[in-house]
Structure 1
Amino acid sequence: MIAIFLYIFLRFRDWRFSLGTIFALVHDTLVTLIVFSFARNWVPFPLEIDQHFIAAILTVIGFSMNDTVVIFDRIREDMKLHPNLDQKSLVNKAINETLSRTIMTTLTVFLTILILFIFGGEVTRGFAFAMLIGVITGIYSTVFVAAPVLVDLKGGIRKSKPHTDLHAPKTEPAKNKNTTL
């Protein structure tokens, strides 16, 4: 966790990005562990916390962190492109711009893991089950945990400014007609 915090801090130069990432990764790990534990009594195959499960958790952490970094990179780019945009609109814009990429990547990984779960055999079933849970929670935490934590932290990534319409026509200030030469 400390290494991930430092990596994100060095990459984005702001501890708020690091904290958002850590919250998302803790969320992914806990949800996967909780569902894995509760489903143990319901599924017809063995769910054990073994080396396959640990590999699945580490893979989920890497996958989720990658998605989070993609969205945070877009937030950083949009901060430079739209300096007058308030932080909520900025984060929302970044999420919307990267959402199709996130969904396509997650869907591809989910289908691959689902095939491994169905046809992979008894040995890989626990790994695939943990990965299925983790991939779903990973996309959720990237969009609904990491980015909101970034916005909600006291002070935010920038001071909130009034929302301005990017496409509104610019008007010239009125000139004073009572000037004398």
Structure 2
Amino acid sequence: MDIIKYKYIFLTFSGVLVLASIVSIAVFGLKQGIDLAGGTLWQIKIVEKEIDNQELKGILQTKVGATDPIVTRETSSNSFLIRVKEISEQDHQKYLDVLKQELGQIEELRFESIGSSIGNELRRRAIWAFILVLTGISAYVAFAFRKVSYPVKSWKYGIITLVTLFHDAVIPVGLYAFLGWFRGAEVDTNFIVALLVIIGFSVHDTIVVFDRIREKLKLASAAKSDFNTLVNQGVNETIARSVNTSLTLIFVLVALYFFGPTALSYFILMILTGTIVGTYSSIFVASPLLTLWRR
């Protein structure tokens, strides 16, 4: 498969996805969850009565007085996860009494409150974590490819890796912004973990492809071999490995998405999207960028 020959098609497709994701983030924004903005996470099981999300949300708003509650029903159970603004212990007991009057017996499975100051600290640490991860990845790639300086400087491998990481991260984030607007998906610690997992998977896949290209450059005479041909050969030799590795993870994630806990559905969907996009970028984005920057 001559990937380099059709590189402009692949790069244009990626550019459209990235642009659409940026527009999604700019238009819809990212809805901060309790972990980052502060609030209360409350999980209850309704024993005596069958109701759906909207019914429970209506009771919370009209009878309890909760402001903008977010209600998620757990898979195959009458258990609900409720997210509301931070409430005191006194209000907690009052809300619980009202729900018992309206719905009968209730089992309280979880009640957690996080202050806004804790949310700000988590957000600050997450930002620093991303900065350190990206800096470390760029430095490592540049160091690993220091002996292959022709025809592309080693530091360019590091920059291209960062570009592909941005590509692989911004597309799932754009999808998450869209889901946040239409389905209420929130940015929380699971979102941050998913983003770090995507970055780790993406850089691993990209380095595998770059490493094969490096081996090709070592074996070939730089003066006599065509760089584009070597890159194309290196990519083709790693396609099967990259796709097979990704498919094993994708099958697991698909199973978890359909049969796993509802509370983790957005977390799983984000990693699934990042895995697919990361596999695509390591094959069809990173190497074509390498040949373009060589000029």
User: Same-fold call, TM > 0.5?
Assistant: yes
Write the distance in 2 (CA, Å) between the matches of 1:133 and 1:143. 16
Cα distance in 1 for partners of 2:267, 2:139 equals 29
Which residue in 2 is equivalent to 1:162? none
What letter matches 2:180 in structure 1?
Answer: R
- TM-score, structure 1 as length reference: 0.80
Query: Looking at CA atoms only, which structure, 1 or 2, has the larger radius of gyration?
Result: 2
Q: Give 1:174's aligned residue.
A: none
CA distance in 1, matches of 2:282, 2:271: 16
Q: Paired residues, what number?
A: 153
1:17 aligns with 2:157: yes
The answer as to 2:230 corresponding to 1:90 is yes
Residue 116 of structure 1 aligns with an amino acid whose one-letter code is L
Cα distance between partner residues in 2 of 1:145 and 1:23:
9
Q: Which residue of 2 aligns with 1:56?
A: 194
**Pairing 1:81–2:219 present:** yes
Amino-acid identity (%):
37
Q: Deviations over 1:55-99 (max 9, x none)?
A: 111001000100001001100001122223211111110010000
Q: 2:172 aligns with which of 5, 16, 32?
A: 32
Q: Which runs of 5+ in 2 are unaligned?
A: 1-133, 147-153
Mapped to 2, the partners of 1:77 and 1:154 lie a distance apart of 17
* Residue of 100, 103, 109 corresponding to 2:249: 109
State the TM-score, normalizing by the size of structure 2. Answer: 0.50
4+ aligned runs moved over 6 Å, structure 1 = none
Highest RCO, 1 vs 2 (Cα 8 Å, sep ≥ 6): 1
Structure with bigger strand share is 2
Work out whether 1:148 is the aligned partner of 2:288.
yes
Unaligned runs of 5+ in 1: 156-181
Mapped contact 1:23–1:145 kept (Cα < 8 A): no
Task: State whether structure 2 residue 141 is matched by structure 1 residue 8.
Answer: yes
How many angstroms apart in 1 are the aligned matches of 2:205 and 2:137? 14
Alignment RMSD:
1.4
